[in-house]
């Protein structure tokens, strides 16, 4: 079984296209440990309107990011998402029309917020905003338009810092590596050593 910092490490994904992410919550401490960026002021447009955009943008999921979890029984472990799993999860989120399902801290449902933008970082295609240049290809970036003044105030004062997904996803059973050759074994050992030094 794969481990990270001495705890079990599991991959997360959809299985046969079922389950998925129901909500992307606005939270004070995002599991991906990366805050969103805030777009505070609009560029002046016709009629000299200079109102606030009320948009936040940031990562919802980052490939390979180890995310600490502890269930109700006290069992501790880490989960991670592959680039392909993130793509499937994001596509299903929008396919299921969950873009107005927004809550705060995974508890309080709120109205007046909508996810209107979604893309994957892809250096080869030139999709790499400077703010996220240190994140890996396949990172799922979302933007949320916040028309709820109370929620926007929580963003502006720093109470809400990022996104956190919520839904039903499957923990994949860890696959033991097939070590048919000495090269496979050396490659596996090298990867294990480097992973444990993160």
DSSP string, 101-143: -EEETTTEEESSEEEEEEEE-BGGGTB--GGGTTSPTT-EEEE
User: Could you please report the per-residue DSSP string of 64-85?
Assistant: T--EEEE-TT--EEEEEE-HHH
- Nearest-angstrom CA–CA distance, 193 and 198: 9
pLDDT score recorded for residue 19 = 77
Percent of the chain with pLDDT over 90: 44
Mean pLDDT along residues 10-19: 79
- Residue-level pLDDT at 14: 85
Going by C-alpha positions, the residue among 69, 36, 50, 64 that lies closest to residue 143 is 36
118 token code pair: 């979604």
pLDDT at res. 39 = 65
Tell me the HSE value of 26 on the side-chain side, using a 13 A CA sphere.
Answer: 36
**Residue 67, C-beta contacts closer than 8 angstroms, at least 6 positions apart:** 31, 32, 78, 79, 80
Average confidence (pLDDT) over 178-189:
55
pLDDT score recorded for residue 70: 87
> What pTM was computed for the model?
0.77
| Model confidence at 190: pLDDT above 70 | no
In tens, the pLDDT along 27-41 reads 999 888 888 877 654
Mean pLDDT of the chain: 81
pLDDT for the residue numbered 187: 57
């Amino acid at each position: 079984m794969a481990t990270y910092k001495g705890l079990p490490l599991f991959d997360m994904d959809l299985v046969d296209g079922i389950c998925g992410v129901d909500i992307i919550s606005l939270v004070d401490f995002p599991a991906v440990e990366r805050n969103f960026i805030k777009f505070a002021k609009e560029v002046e447009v016709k009629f000299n309107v200079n109102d606030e955009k009320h948009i936040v943008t940031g990562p919802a999921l980052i490939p390979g990011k180890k995310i600490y979890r502890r269930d109700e029984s006290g069992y501790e472990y880490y989960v991670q998402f592959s680039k392909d799993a993130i793509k499937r999860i994001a596509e299903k989120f929008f396919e299921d029309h969950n873009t107005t399902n927004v809550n705060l801290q995974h508890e309080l449902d709120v109205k007046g917020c909508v996810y209107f933008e979604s893309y994957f970082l892809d250096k080869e295609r030139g999709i790499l905003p400077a703010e996220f240049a240190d994140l890996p290809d396949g990172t799922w970036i979302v933007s949320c338009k916040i028309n709820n003044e109370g929620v926007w105030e929580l963003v502006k004062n720093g109470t809400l810092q990022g996104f956190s997904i919520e839904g039903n996803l499957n923990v994949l059973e860890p696959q033991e590596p097939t070590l048919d050759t000495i090269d496979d074994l050396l490659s596996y050992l090298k990867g294990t050593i480097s992973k444990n030094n993160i």
